[in-house]
Structure 1
Amino acid sequence: MVDSAPPPTAAPEAEPRRRAAPRAAGLLAAVGALLLVLVASVAVGAKQIPLDQVWHGLFHYTGNETDVVVRDVRVPRTLLGLLVGAALGLAGTVMQALTRNPLADPGLFGINAGAAAAVVSGISFLGVSSLTGYVWLAFLGAAAVSVVVYALGGSRGATPVRLALAGTAVTAALNGYVFSVQLLDTAALDRMRFWTVGSLASANSTVVTQVAPFIVAGVLLALTLARPLNALALGDDQARALGTRLTATRVLALAAVTLLCGAATAACGPVIFVGLMVPHVVRVFTGPDMRWILPYAAVLAPVLLLGSDIAGRVVVRPSELQVGIVTALLGGPLFIHLVRRRRMARL
């Protein structure tokens, strides 16, 4: 009797490769969607411009009115939306992983409010009017609120619920402060009113070049934290057993969030819900692996932000609806849906 050979089986390393293939294909599709939105952001606006004139403004600039709108207004606005979207998407993803709280968001944890309060204070009381001043004030405010929320949440004994409650309380207090300053300082009100709702309308090449280094540094730092954040998802004891340096990981994660949110908030004001919505959409395709969630979030968050900006420019032509308002209208129902889910109610 001849022994039959066992059927061939796939190599152990082949299974992860098979799982990675759909994720890689999805990431390529997301990049394609981002390219389409980038093109649409340059071609579509409150002022209707034929495509041939858009092309002329991009590649045959002569300085006429249409060329100025395309190259000097829409292109910087699109680039800023790309940078800010990636920053907010990654910041929200890192916050959710760091706190193991699926409802975590820089806006909900008070970081955006801290940056906004610092910038508004600088505008009203210190006479700050340059973007460079806004950036450093936003960093200071974001860092200070991060420390305050972490302390109020219990420091090393912090839990997701306590951090969420502390962030909500701090956000409410700071928002009240910002509104009070606006009411009391009517001279600065016009300068602050569009900024505080979140807007890309003031974008220009100077804004882009000044915030780009901070956002790029934050993006690179966030992407390098994928493996430590995966370990943190297993719990502190398991992460420590795997060799993860918990304190260093948390400090670097907060530094990444501060860089990303500080620069994004300084450039266009506090835009909420982008960092909350995108990670939840991404996990449908990637699962819980941060090595895939972070790149997906960096690509899809600008799609959401620029798509919202395009919608705001189109729906109320010839005026504009600020992007922060559009993202709030989209994010509110999603947040309610997340809170009502059974597993969120038990958080």
Structure 2
Amino acid sequence: MSEENQTMKTEFILEGFTDHPEMKTLLFVVFLTIYLITMVGNVGLVILISKEHRLHTPMYIFLGNLALVDSCCACAITPKMLENFFSENRVMSFYECMAQFYFLCTVETADCFLLAAMAYDRYVAICSPLQYHTMMSKKLCVQMTIGAYTAGNLHSMIHVGLLLRLAFCRSNHINHFYCDILPLYRLSCVDPYINEVVLFIFSGSIQVFTIGSVLISYLYILFTIFKMKSKEGRAKAFSTCASHFLSVSLFYGSLFFMYIRPNLLEEGDRDIPAAILFTIVVPLLNPFIYSLRNKEVIAVLRKILKIKTPQSLQQMTTTVA
């Protein structure tokens, strides 16, 4: 090996969207707008659910945590990506890279389990409404939520720990807009076969389990919907389930394509579109899919607006007087 190849890399350069420098201003504006809407929607939903006691039920606890992990995902990815559009120094140290991947892997894994828990919650509510409070207690809800975060941390620690066994002596240019595990495998001068096997086993197991839970829950829900006598109720329930299933399909589909497809290390150019879906698009859509179509959330928003607006007007009138 040459002296250049023997030099170990301790810093990485995120290339991201540098293939189209003429579009960097447009892309910056688009991603900045998406980021702001994502943060307002998700953080607003977390605050709304935490402040309103009538929303302290399992369904909304899961929804609030889903909004929390989506906002964390956006924070882990987008600020650095936006900075890199106009920064000449797009360098990340090895440990910064590990930290970004650890954080992202944790929230995405937790996202998988939260979506499965939400699907089970809706299955119990629609298919066994009389047994809902016994089958889906607040204690079980808290345990499932803690389990989702615990699984996320354990999953990310396994992969970060295995990354430490690799050495990087090739190019330090990462063809991605964030520090992901697959581009690092491609840059390693140590055979990442063990890492690939562990990634396939753990990521595949998590996705098969959570996707299976979601599919089984929604199949039972659909069977129950088709048995409804009211056409209006059937259409409304089906419309809600369809929008939820669209979000779930985008998220799991992009994750599955990203990490479970064959020949992971040979097709780096396909990573970015799939990554945009589950790190940027899905966190943007979730608050609107799960909250704006929800009567309880809309009712609480209207209540807040009706209460605060007259108070504000009265304070303004008093001040002017």
TM-score range, shorter chain: 0.3 to 0.5
Asked which structure has the greater RCO (Cα within 8 Å, sep 6+), the reply is: 1
> TM-score w.r.t. structure 2 length?
0.35
> TM-score w.r.t. structure 1 length?
0.33
